[in-house]
Every structure is written in structure tokens, then in C-alpha cells.
Amino acid sequence: MRLSKQLKFTFRGKSIQRPLIYEVGHKFKVTTNIRKADIESDGGWVILELTGSKEEINKALDWLKEEEVRVDNVAGDIVAG
């Protein structure tokens, strides 16, 4: 079952310099959709919708946390079908 999660990612330091949203979409079987963002050269945040299986979303989130991205829930899960 595919589901969508809306999350807030906060980037600081080195994580702001890498294309992590691009990378997460290629490393894991998830689709990314930027809903809102505020990015500066030294940090910022993105409201991102991730769509995929629960397992793939969790793998993607674990990887992002390892890359020093703060991940916060924004809204409840939306079952996509």
C-alpha cells in the first residue's frame, strides 16, 4: 500500500550544500513533492510530501536523519492507494 506523508525537513551546515531531496528520490522508492520552502545559504526548511510504501518512507527518513537533516511531522498520513 502506498501512502503519503507531509514532513518538515530542516537543513543546517553541510546538509544545505547537498541535493538531498534529489538523492532521496533516487536512493529509495519514494516520490518527492516540495509543498513549501525557505532556503538560505546557511540553512533552511522544506515542507515535503513523500509518497511510497511505509517501509521505503521509513528507510528514506532514517537516511536523511543520518545526513543531519531534522525531520518533523506536519500532518497525518494520507493513504494514496
Q: Which domains does the chain have, with CATH numbers?
A: 2-75 (3.30.70.260)
What is this structure's pTM?
A: 0.85
pLDDT in tens, 28-63: 999 999 999 999 988 999 999 999 999 999 999 999
Give the whole-angstrom CA distance, residue 24 versus residue 68: 13
The rounded percent of the chain whose pLDDT value lies above 90 is: 74
Pairing outcome for strands 70-73 and 2-12: antiparallel
To 5 degrees, how large is the angle CA 46–CA 48–CA 53?
Answer: 150
> Residue 41: its pLDDT value, please?
84
Is the alpha carbon torsion for 32, 54, 27, 11 positive or negative? Answer: positive
User: Nine-digit cell at 44?
Assistant: 533552511
Rounded to whole angstroms, how far apart are CA atoms 53 and 44? 27
* pLDDT at 9 exceeding the cut of 80: yes
